[in-house]
Structure formats: C-alpha cells, structure tokens
A = this chain, B = another copy of it.
Amino acid sequence: MTLGTIGDTIDAASEIPNVQTAVLSKDLSFQLESGRRFGPIEVAYKTFGELNRDKSNAVFVFPTLTATPQVASETVGGKVFPGWWQNMVGKGKAIDTEKFFVICADHFGGCYGSTGPSSKNPDNGHEFGLNFPGFFIRDMVNVSLLFLKHLGIWKLHAVVGASIGGLLALELVALKKNLAKNALILGASHKVSATYLALNYIARQAIMLDPQWNNGNYYGRGFPEKGLSIARQIGHISYLNHLLLESKFGRAPVNEKFRNHVSLDTQYRIESYLDYQGKKFCKRFDPNSYIYLSKAIDTFDLLREFGSIKNAFRGTGTKFTFITISSDNLFLPQDSMELHKELLGCNVNSSYNEVNSPKGHDGLFLETGELASLVRDSLGN
C-alpha cells in the first residue's frame, strides 16, 4: 500500500497568488447570531474557470478548517502553487474548472485575507485577538451569502464541503433552500461528536497554555508556536486512522541508535512527523483563528437552530450527495448515513456513498479513483 504524502495535500502552502478581496461591508451593518453588530467585513477568495453566460455553472467550495482559497493548483510566473484539493479540483478533474466556475473563499474568522482575529480593529488599529466576536457556522454562512451576492451569483450548480466545509454546506442549504442545485457533503454530518469536542477543547487549552499566546495578544510580539504545534498534532492524530499510522510509522526510531536509549528529544519517526507537521502549520496559520474556528465547529447544532433535521431541510430543492471514508474516526460514516436517511424521510433528494479506504478522515484529500468518480457523478458531469 503506497501511502504517499500523508497530510501534505491538506497542508498546502499559504502563499496565494492573485488572491482577490471582496469588501462586503464598511460599517457595522452585519449582525451576528449573538446580536452583536460587526464590521467592516472583507472576504479573500479565488476563482477558477469562467462563469457562463446564464451564471449557472458556479461551484462554491468551502475550505477545510485550515485550508486556503487555493483549492486548485495553478502556475503563476512559472511557479506552481499547489491546490489543497488538487486531486479533485482543476482542469479535467472531478470538479472540472473547464466546465465549472469554482469559487473558494477564506473563512470568516480565518487568516488568509478574510476578516478574522488577526485583522486590525479599525477602532484602535490593533489586531482584534480575543476582541473578535464569537461566531457560529451560521454566521460564517451568512457572510458567505453576502459574498455570493457581491459576486452577483444567485444560484449555485453546487455547494461542496468536506469536514468543517461540509458543516458550512449543510448550513447554507438549510438557510437558502433553493440557492444550490447540488450539495456535496464529504466526511461531515449534522453530528459533531463528543470526541471531536474533546479534541478541540484539548487543542485550544494547549494554545492558551503557551506563554507566547499572551491572552491572544501576540501579534508583533511573539508567536505561540509550541501551543499551536500541539493543537495541530492533536488534529493530525484524529485525521489519520490508527492503522495507517501503524503501517506508516510503527515504532521506527529516527535513528537506529535511538532504539537503545531513553530521550526526551525526538526519538521515533512518529514524533518527528508530528514535529514537522506542527512546525509547518505554524508558518501558515493564526492561533486565534484556530481557537475561533474550532469553536464554530463545536457549536454547530442544527437541532438548536431549527428544532429538527427535518425542519432544517424540508422543502429544499437541493439534491444531496454524501460521501464518507470507511475509516474516518472524526466524522463517522454512520452519522452521515443517519442524516441521509432523515433527508429521504422528508422527501429530499439524497444519495449516500461510502468509500472503502484505510486513510481515515484525510482520505477525503488523498483518495482519487472512486472518490473522484463519485464527486464527478454527483455534479452531473
């Protein structure tokens, strides 16, 4: 079994060429679910392909928790900028940018150009830090709806999301029942598990324990690299299935001489891998964004918002496609199946597909063959 570049696909570089910025509001006109008014709001985004004349070929892809708007690969000035979902999005790929106008925007609360905790507060010129308002997945989608309006997009051929992107796509359909013709929900469901809540809680504590975090006021002073690195490492453990970790790393030492001693330095390859992933992540992500976005995942709760799954989706014209990875431990396939059945129960068009793969949650970004075929089919290619 070739395991390839575990975790690397999702870890695309943060350098983004030709990113565009949409100014959605210059004042406090946007109201959050909490009741708080907030602004100004900007969204950084990229598009791939061309919008057709009747504006019917737009595919809106929500990023994963830490992904950039660079969803597809691109060559600019002779340099290749890899897309975080290059296996799936691009010319001739399942989400074909020769056919579709693909839009991918940085999250509200993110750190790749959209307004977030690392943005400057216009009131005082300092980064928001923890003064950034708390927000829900619903707030993020409301910002996305303003953004689509800004682009002049009134209908979507599809909304697509994996992991947190799937939560955002679900929320979008629940709020705008006739905006998207298709919804592709990959490795996500209505259920954020107790285990995921626990992992996010532990990850946030690690960030906040780092003295460099300084209650969120680290901009221009330091960077809580150790804390954010631990948070990312906790994430990686949950993205990968334990059998995959075993076959890839086992208990191989970094160096054979390390078999015979006890050291607090990096001793095993799995430790070295975690170090590498943690450090790499620190070059591209804002710790406060991690805190806020992980809270948005935790608080996602369609039952709270709509009273029931049926209330959330009844009457939508959107056709759903659920795709899961059999070994996903973060969002369990059976939870997506449960949601699929709820949708069928209120006469919503829905299909469910499980890809048999040992690659865990990350399989969503590593698998190609069957997964790509399912995505292609769901878009009516």
Complex: how many Å from CA A80 to CA B260? 44
From the candidates B201, B251, B267, name the one contacting A271 in the complex (CB within 8 A).
B201
Instruction: Tell yes or no: A199 within 8 A of B by CB.
Output: yes
Complex: how many Å from CA A358 to CA B283? 40
From the candidates B199, B227, B274, name the one contacting A198 in the complex (CB within 8 A).
B274
Contact A262 B299 (CB under 8 A): yes
Instruction: Tell yes or no: A49 within 8 A of B by CB.
Output: no
Residues of B within 8 A of A248 (CB): 194
From the candidates B135, B192, B267, name the one contacting A262 in the complex (CB within 8 A).
B135
Residues of B within 8 A of A194 (CB): 242, 245-246, 248-251, 268, 270
Binds B, one of A65-73, A97-105, A206-214: A206-214
Find residues 64-102 in chain A having any chain B CB closer than 8 Å to their own CB: none
Which residue of chain B lies nearest to A275 when distances are taken between CB atoms in the complex?
B201
Contact B250 A264 (CB under 8 A): no
Residues of B within 8 A of A260 (CB): 304
Given A197-B268, A198-B274, A260-B304, answer yes or no on A230-B206 (Cβ-Cβ < 8 Å).
yes
Contact A205 B230 (CB under 8 A): yes
From the candidates B130, B229, B264, name the one contacting A295 in the complex (CB within 8 A).
B264
Given A205-B226, A227-B209, A262-B135, answer yes or no on A198-B295 (Cβ-Cβ < 8 Å).
no
Contact A301 B206 (CB under 8 A): no
Instruction: Tell yes or no: A145 within 8 A of B by CB.
Output: no
Contact B135 A198 (CB under 8 A): no
Q: Mark A188-221, 1 if CB is under 8 A from B, else 0.
A: 0001111101110110111011110000000000
Residues of B within 8 A of A192 (CB): 251
Complex: how many Å from CA A164 to CA B22? 56
- Return A271 CB to nearest CB of chain B, in Å: 5
Residues of B within 8 A of A233 (CB): 198, 201-202, 205
Complex: how many Å from CA A202 to CA B245? 15
Instruction: Tell yes or no: A237 within 8 A of B by CB.
Output: yes
- Return A240 CB to nearest CB of chain B, in Å: 9
Given A194-B249, A198-B270, answer yes or no on A295-B262 (Cβ-Cβ < 8 Å).
yes
Residues of B within 8 A of A274 (CB): 198, 201-202
26 chain-A/chain-B pairs, Cβ below 8 angstroms: A34-B262, A130-B264, A134-B263, A191-B251, A193-B245, A193-B246, A194-B245, A194-B248, A194-B250, A194-B270, A195-B242, A195-B245, A195-B246, A197-B249, A197-B251, A198-B233, A198-B237, A198-B245, A199-B237, A201-B268, A202-B237, A204-B264, A206-B230, A264-B291, A264-B295, A267-B299
